[in-house]
Every structure is written in structure tokens, then in C-alpha cells.
Structure 1
Amino acid sequence: MSASSPHPGEVGRLIRELRTALGWSQSRLASELARVGGDTVTRMYVSRWENGHCAPQPYWLRHLATVLQVPLETMEDTVNRRGFLTSLTGTAIAPAVAADLIEAGFAAALGDRARTGEDWDGAVETYGRDYMTQGAAEIQKRLVADMIVLQQQVETPRSWVVAAKLATLYAKTFPGSDGLKAVSWYRHAARFADRSGDRDVRVWVRGRAAIALGYEGAALGMADALAAQAMALDERPSLGMVNAVMGRAHAAALRGDRATALSLVEEGRRVFDKAGSDDAESDYAVPWWRFNIFASLLAARLGDERLAGEVQAEADRHLPASLPRFRTHLEMHRGLMMARQGDSAGVGYAQAALDALPPEKHSLTLRMVMEEIHTATG
């Protein structure tokens, strides 16, 4: 398909989506086209284009590209990527915001906001740090904007690495129980990582997804599947392997398989001893304090006071003061332990810890842990 003979149905759907994202009626689009082109175009013309009855002629394609911020020379590529674009702008984003994001994406295609590989590497590092302290809503909005820009530039293995890491983080801004969003984006991230050809990233993406789902107690079958894929890709110790093993451990604990869960925690510790990261405050790192937070929730789920005391003491000792949200995790784990032991005060204890954290620092994961505590007391 060329710019001079686009498929009417595909272009029509694209025109409609971009028009509605801008909050325009068909009549408004017709008026904008007349203003730019100087020739008369009616609402009926727009309706016929959007319904696929006919395709805009090259003259009108040029003006459509202008008023909808779609570069003509990339119209075909835009149509091919429409599904990716729609899935991003369809995540409960207001039309005015979506319009800004679309503009950013197509400006990048024109080279107005193009980023170098170093720029994208820096963006990944920034997101990794910001995720540790900022709320999911703010991170999600920024990620949507950058991913729409990135999807215009994904061509090299290096750019697919960036896409894989950002997609993994994007998935984490949705509750793991929302299979239509979180799980689907973990799958996207795995495919992006595979496209990169980078084995370490392929393992890391799957492991990170496994621990995220296991920790949240959601989509446990997918957590197991992604963990198994990570472990099959590469048996060497790595951060991805640590995450994969601990994801499987949480899945086992939630299924009531105590022996397997405890065995996997020990395996995770052995892998960590060989591959654990430094104390970097990033979602892409697994320092000692974070490993122990993983183990802390698992111990609470099992009702294992000895293990909980051991790992919570280690987490308390090493957890940076700059990350209060993770100290809230520890306090809520203690509340869950109380609830598991039949102490109804566990709910109040956990809720008090959550209330003490400023609302803008809350995470979806904390809310899911709170729901688990309520369920444990039921």
C-alpha cells in the first residue's frame, strides 16, 4: 500500500480515531480541512472516508496529515502501527491528553523530538529510579508519552531493549489482576525483548514480570509460565533469575505449597549471592534489602514467624530512608502476619501504616496487599 492508494478501511479508522482523540466532530474536521486547503469539503466527505466508502485523494491526504498531525510520508507506517498506538492512548486517558501524546509521537516521526540511543538509555534509568518513589498514575502518563514517541523509532536491537524495559514498567502501573492490561503488556515486553536478541534482557523481563505478579498474588499461572521461560533461557545466575525464582516462590506460597515455597526462597538466596545488585535505588535493581522484602511477604503468607523475623530485620537494616514506600510494605507484611494468625488487629495495623504514607506515594501493589489482609481476616 502506498501513500497515493491507501486502504480505505484502515485509513478511515485512523482518521476517526485521531479526530475523536482531538475531541472534534466530523463537521469540525471538515472546517479545519477547508481552512488549510482552501477548498470546500463537507461533513459527508469525512463520513465517507471514515466509513471506508472511499479513500481520500492525495490532495486531501496531505491536508489530513496537517490537521491531524500525521506526517504524510509515514502514513503507511502509522496505519501498520495503529494497534500499538490505540492500545496506549486507550488507557483511560482524556481526549485532550491523548491529543498531546499523539502530537508528540508524530512530531518524533518528523524528527522534531528524535532521541538518540543514549537519550533512551538515560530515560530508562530515570524511570527505574522514579518508580521507587512516585505513584503509578504519574509514571503511567509519562510512559505513555515516551512509548508513543519510541514506537516511531524502534528499529535496532538497542531500541527493542528500551521498549522491553519500558513496557515491563508500564505493565506494573496496572493491577496484576487486570489481565487485559498488566498481563498483556508483560507479554508485549517479552516479545520486545526477544526482538532485541539480548539474552540477559529476555531473562530479566520475564523474571521481573514473574515476581511482580507473584508478589501481587495475581495471574499466578502466568507468573509460573514467565518464570519457567526465564529459567529455560539461561541457567546462569542473574537478576532476572532471582526475580523468576522468587516469583515462583510466591505462587507456590499462595497455592499453599509451603515446602516448595521455602525451597525456592533458599534457591533464590543462592542465586542472589552470585548475582545480586548493588544498592541502586531503581526498579531494575535487586539489592539485599529488596530481596528481603520479597521474602518478608512470602513469610507472612506462610505464617512463618522465624523467617519473617529474620528477613524483616535484614530489610530494616539496609532499606534506604529515601524509600518510605518500601518500609510501608514491611509494616503491612507484619499486619498480614497478624491476620494470618487470627489477630483481627492486623487490619488496623496495616491500614495505619498505609495511611501514614502520603497518598501520592501509594502504589497499586500496596493496595493489593491491603486487600489480601482483609481477605485473610474474613
Structure 2
Amino acid sequence: MELGELIRELRRLQGWSQGRVADELCKAARAETVTRHEVSHWENGKRTPGPYWLRHLATVLEVPLTALEADPVERRTFLTGLAGATIAPVVASDLIEFGFGAALGQRPDLDSWKSKLVVYGTDYMSQGAADIQRRLAGDLVILQQQLEKPGMWEVAARLMTLYGKTFPGSDGSKAVNWYTMAATAADRSGDMASRVWVRGRAAIALGYEGASLALADAFANQALAISDKPSLGRLNALMGKAHVAALRGDRRTALALTEEGRRTFDLAGSHEQESDYAVPLWRMNVFVSLLAARLGDEKLALQAQDVASKNMPASLPRFKTHLEMHQGLMLVRAGDRTGGVTQARKALNQLPQEKHSLTLRMLLGEIERRTH
């Protein structure tokens, strides 16, 4: 393993972006002389950190200096056992500290937790899953000590749903378990909107990812049975079911559900543009774009992509990548597998690594597996 690859893997194990590594290095060296671009050059092998920065890298990434100085074979051997032997205890230590710190100190009140919800909803749209997962883990440890009131259960349900989205939907032991616990938490809150939203969000997450289709359908059915009132939760549930139908080859049902989703969107769509807790016009059309690409409906896909592109905030490049990858899927569905896979890989590679999401990686896998 080359040194740059090892630095990249160690950074990912920490759940950090390249910018975070640069910030930590500057703190360690007490000088603002390292940028995200420098870290990127190290990881890509364009430059090699000298002995001075190797020492600081070892410090901030919490590994022995010898691991960075080792030959390629030794680096690979070291990395294989690293997650369990080095990183996991550090994370566990942090979580224990968070928990006891909250128990011994001043706990956030309900308004503070609701403010955190807003921040997480916005951050999820632009930051990598690893960063969000690490932050959420600490907050969930604290929040679980404060579940005396229904309002706290509502906050917990929404944060747990977001936490579930930081795991691949194909990993039923993690993502789906978190969605299930979030649904139970929402039930304990007694809040109808949260009960529907949590289940609908799980349904669209799994349906969009093309993972655990039976469970996606079950979450959607639960949401739709709880209330027939137009809401974002109901909208997500309908679009989740539509994607399940499309992946099962049921074109008629998929399109019928999409039309019902459009009618619900007209009544309950969001004005908020940059939150995971919102479904504005551009995001609704991202849902439709992928569904149409899965169905091989080029006209519908292009219409949805045009609307999404015109309305999407420039501050959310990850979702532009979604649309570009949908185009790759369309090429594959049209019979050009080589062109489609190339398009999808190029789109993902152009997005900065720290902005990648598990959903995009799963979408690439779907495109690579498609034969028509």
C-alpha cells in the first residue's frame, strides 16, 4: 500500500474530511501552513509529506510513526487490524466521555435539541456521512439520558433516522435497525407527523438506494396507514413505494404512485431548500429522475432532470452528481453499458471525496451491475 492510500484510509476511519485533517495538523504544528489541497496531494501521491509532517500526521491520526514510515506491505498489514485495535477504543472513549459529561453537567433543553435538528438537517445535505455519523453518535448518547418527555422522543426519532442513513441500506443489521428504533421512538412521542415522517423517510431512503425492498415497502405501508393527510412523510412513503415498484419491474404501479406523490407534493412540498427534513421542488424531481431512469423512460427522466437542475442550490454539488449518475443509468438501460458506467464513475470521481455519500456508492454499484 502506498503512503497516500494509507493516509486516506486512516482519515476515513476517523470519519474526517481532508479539510478536518488539515485543521488538525495546523493545530498540532501551531501554524496555518497545511491546506485541504495539500492533504489531497498527499493522498493522491502527487506529493510526499516530509519527516516533519509525517510526525504530525501520526499524532493527529493516532497511529505510530512507524506505520507511516513502513514499506507498502507492512502498511497494508497494519491497516487491516487498525479499526478494532486502535480507532474503536478511541471512539468508545469519546462516547463514554460525552455521556458522563452530560450526566454531570448542564443538559441541553428541548429548544436546544430542536436547534440541533435544524443544523443536522442542513449539514447532512453537504457533508460526508462519516462526519455526520461521528457527531450524531455523541449527541445520541447524551439524548438517550433525557427521554422523559414526548418532545425528546420526537427529536430522538428524527436524529435516529438520520443516523440510520449514514449506514448502507443493504446492511440490515445497522440501517434498518436504526429506522425501526426511530419508528418506535416516534410512536412514543405521540406526534402523528413524526410517526409518518420517520417511516416515510426510511422508505424513500431504502427505495432510492435499491436496498431491502420488502422493508422499504413495509415502512411505506405503515406510514400511509397512520394518516392520509398530505405531509412530507406521506410524500416520502409514496415515492419510496414507487421506487420499489420500479425496481421490481412494475411500471404501471410505479408511475401511478409517482402521480399520487406529485399531488401530495403540490399540497405539502417544502420551501426550505437545503435540509434533509425538507422536500423542495428540485429534490422531488431528483426522486423522479432516478425512478424514470430505472424504468427506462427517457422523456420523463430528462424533464425531471431539467427541473431539478434549474432549481437546485449551487451549494449542493452532491445532488448534481446524483443527476449525472442517473444519466449514466439511462445510458445503460438504453444498451450502452460501457458509456453509462464511464459516465457514472466520472461523475462520482469529480465530486470531492469528502462529499461522497453511501447512497452514491450504492447507485454506482447498481449501474455497474445493470446489463440493460
Alignment partners' CA distance in 1, 2:138 and 2:203: 26
Partner of residue 336, structure 1: 329
TM-score (norm 2): 0.76
Alignment of 1:108-257 (within 5 A): 108-110=102-104, 112-257=105-250
Alignment partners' CA distance in 1, 2:206 and 2:100: 34
Alignment partners' CA distance in 2, 1:93 and 1:196: 35
How far 1:279 sits from its partner (Å)?
3.4
Alignment partners' CA distance in 1, 2:87 and 2:222: 33
Partner of residue 304, structure 1: 297
After superposition, what is the alpha-carbon deviation per residue over 1:332-353, rounded to whole angstroms, capped at 9, x for unaligned?
0000000111102011111111
How far 1:96 sits from its partner (Å)?
1.7
Alignment partners' CA distance in 1, 2:116 and 2:328: 36
Alignment partners' CA distance in 2, 1:198 and 1:282: 20
Partner of residue 94, structure 1: 88
Residue 343 of structure 2, aligned match among 329, 349, 363: 349
How far 1:280 sits from its partner (Å)?
2.8
* Contact 2:143-2:156 within 8 A present in 1 as well: yes
Alignment partners' CA distance in 2, 1:150 and 1:120: 8
Alignment partners' CA distance in 2, 1:262 and 1:273: 17
How many residues were matched structurally? 287
TM-score (norm 1): 0.75
Alignment partners' CA distance in 2, 1:335 and 1:93: 37
Alignment-mate amino acid for residue 89 of structure 2: P
Partner of residue 369, structure 2: 375
How far 1:278 sits from its partner (Å)?
0.6
Alignment-mate amino acid for residue 367 of structure 2: I
How far 1:113 sits from its partner (Å)?
4.0
After superposition, what is the alpha-carbon deviation per residue over 1:38-80, rounded to whole angstroms, capped at 9, x for unaligned?
xxxxxxxxxxxxxxxxxxxxxxxxxxxxxxxxxxxxxxxxxxx
Partner of residue 84, structure 1: none
Alignment-mate amino acid for residue 210 of structure 2: G
After superposition, what is the alpha-carbon deviation per residue over 1:237-293, rounded to whole angstroms, capped at 9, x for unaligned?
000010000000000000000000011111100000011011330000000000000
Alignment-mate amino acid for residue 172 of structure 2: G
How far 1:97 sits from its partner (Å)?
2.0
After superposition, what is the alpha-carbon deviation per residue over 1:63-107, rounded to whole angstroms, capped at 9, x for unaligned?
xxxxxxxxxxxxxxxxxxxxxxxxxxx9x9620221121111122
Alignment-mate amino acid for residue 187 of structure 2: D
Alignment partners' CA distance in 2, 1:314 and 1:93: 44
Pairwise CA RMSD of aligned residues?
Answer: 1.2
* Contact 1:109-1:153 within 8 A present in 2 as well: no
Alignment-mate amino acid for residue 368 of structure 1: M
**1:93–1:297 Cα change, 3 Å:** farther
After superposition, what is the alpha-carbon deviation per residue over 1:19-39, rounded to whole angstroms, capped at 9, x for unaligned?
xxxxxxxxxxxxxxxxxxxxx
Alignment partners' CA distance in 1, 2:371 and 2:141: 43
How far 1:218 sits from its partner (Å)?
0.4
Q: Tell me, which stretches of 5 or more residues in structure 2 are unaligned?
A: 1-83
Alignment partners' CA distance in 2, 1:93 and 1:245: 40
How far 1:127 sits from its partner (Å)?
0.4
Aligned residues: percent identity? 64
**1:93–1:185 Cα change, 3 Å:** farther
Q: Tell me, which stretches of 5 or more residues in structure 1 are unaligned?
A: 1-89
* Contact 1:292-1:315 within 8 A present in 2 as well: yes
Alignment partners' CA distance in 2, 1:97 and 1:312: 40
How far 1:153 sits from its partner (Å)?
1.0
Alignment partners' CA distance in 1, 2:260 and 2:94: 47
* Contact 2:273-2:313 within 8 A present in 1 as well: no
* Contact 1:279-1:288 within 8 A present in 2 as well: no
Q: Which has the larger radius of gyration?
A: 1
Partner of residue 258, structure 2: 265
Alignment partners' CA distance in 2, 1:200 and 1:93: 38
SS in 2 for 1:132: helix
